[in-house]
């Protein structure tokens, strides 16, 4: 009985896709790095982000039938989050106001957004990037207008680069009636490749022309190395690997702001810690692909054949 209950709990945790909250948590700490300020409510917001987006993951899993989960878990989870939020925030009205906004957008993402091209990514860019970033400044009582340009760039990069998520399971998505580049166009693979390239170009333009990103040769190299493997996986239609590497590229891109902001050690550490899962998965994927390549098995032969 205990083993069965444990398996059910593990299944719910997997279905909640907790790792997706990485984007929101990182956005929170990067926003804090711009003003080099961190307080208890912001830490609580980061913790609650895990709960908020876990509910979205559960709803998505139930709708797509990825996991056989009792539907009653969803309303129970929402109730637990609301009660938990009220208790640990000591009725902080700013965080309480964010709860219905995020939950409604999460519901919209899982029900309607995937029926409209790009709407799923646009919705995610709000829930995972823009709202967490601006909410952090609001909670810290800092001016928002001077910093609006940063989450806009981050959101656009997110839409263009994380587009790769729709490569995995696109045949199932087509059956469900989801509208993505992969399900709507025969040239979906090429369009996603173009989307990611545009995301990288946007980064360079933002850095060199708009001067809104602290790009330097070392940071550019760190971004381009996983980008090379990412583009290769897209051309080979390796959706799972492409998704993992796209996440890695995006979080490295966002972490680049730490170079410019030079925040406290605590904010820097929390930023890197929150992105650890995606970076680790990306490095593992790259190392696996290198080991499976001809160059790794026969380096001399591969070099002379160039």
**Pair of tokens at residue 20:** 């997706």
DSSP SS3 for 38 = coil
Q: Which of 84, 116, 117 is nearest to 191 (CA)?
A: 117
Q: Give the model's pLDDT for residue 179.
A: 93
**Pair of tokens at residue 260:** 């410019």
Q: pLDDT tens-digit profile of 266-287?
A: 999 999 999 999 999 999 999 9
Spatial contact of 278 and 26, defined as CB atoms under 8 Å apart:
no
Is the pLDDT confidence value at 305 over 50? no
Alpha helices in 209-275 (DSSP H): 217-235, 239-255, 257-261, 265-274
Q: Give the model's pLDDT for residue 14.
A: 58
Q: What burial class does residue 231 get, using C-beta atoms within 10 Å of its C-beta: 0-12 exposed, 13-18 middle, 19+ buried?
A: middle
| Integer Cα distance of 213 and 194 in angstroms | 22
| Integer Cα distance of 281 and 180 in angstroms | 25
Higher pLDDT, 216 or 156: 156
Compute the average pLDDT of residues 205-232: 90
**Pair of tokens at residue 258:** 């730490």
The upper half-sphere exposure of residue 51, i.e. CA atoms within 13 Å in the direction of its Cβ, equals: 18
Span between the terminal Cα atoms of the chain, in Å: 60
Spatial contact of 159 and 169, defined as CB atoms under 8 Å apart:
no
Q: Give the model's pLDDT for residue 153.
A: 94
Q: Give the model's pLDDT for residue 89.
A: 76
Higher pLDDT, 179 or 68: 179
Q: Give the model's pLDDT for residue 156.
A: 96
Return the minimum-mean-pLDDT range out of 88-92, 129-133, 139-143, 195-199. 88-92
Q: Give the model's pLDDT for residue 286.
A: 96
| Integer Cα distance of 248 and 282 in angstroms | 6
- C-alpha distances out from residue 239 to 8, 164, 306, Å: 28, 7, 28
């Amino acid at each position: 009985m205990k083993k069965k209950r444990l398996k059910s709990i593990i299944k719910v945790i997997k279905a909640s896709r907790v790792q997706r909250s990485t984007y929101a948590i990182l956005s929170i700490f990067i926003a804090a790095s711009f003003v080099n300020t961190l307080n208890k409510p912001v830490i609580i917001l980061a913790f609650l982000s895990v709960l908020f987006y876990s509910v979205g993951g559960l709803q998505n899993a139930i709708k797509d039938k990825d996991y056989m989960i009792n539907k009653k878990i969803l309303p129970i989870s929402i109730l637990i989050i609301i009660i938990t939020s009220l208790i640990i925030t000591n009725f902080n009205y700013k965080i309480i106001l964010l709860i219905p906004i995020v939950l409604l957008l999460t519901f919209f993402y899982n029900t309607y957004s995937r029926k409209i091209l790009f709407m799923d990514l646009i919705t995610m860019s709000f829930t995972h990037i823009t709202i967490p970033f601006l909410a952090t400044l609001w909670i810290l009582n800092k001016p928002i207008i001077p910093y609006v340009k940063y989450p806009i760039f981050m959101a656009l990069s997110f839409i263009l680069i994380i587009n790769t998520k729709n490569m995995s399971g696109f045949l199932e998505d087509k059956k469900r009636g989801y509208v993505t580049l992969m399900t709507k166009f025969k040239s979906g693979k090429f369009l996603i490749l173009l989307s990611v390239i545009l995301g990288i170009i946007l980064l360079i333009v933002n850095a060199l022309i708009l001067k809104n990103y602290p790009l330097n040769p070392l940071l550019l190299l760190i971004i381009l190395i996983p980008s090379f493997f990412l583009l290769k996986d897209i051309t080979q239609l390796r959706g799972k690997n492409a998704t993992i590497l796209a996440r890695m590229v995006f979080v490295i891109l966002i972490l680049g702001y730490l170079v410019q902001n030079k925040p406290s050690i605590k904010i820097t550490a929390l930023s890197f810690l929150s992105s650890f899962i995606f970076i680790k998965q990306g490095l593992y994927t790259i190392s696996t692909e290198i080991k499976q390549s001809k160059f790794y098995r026969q380096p001399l032969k591969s070099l002379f054949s160039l």
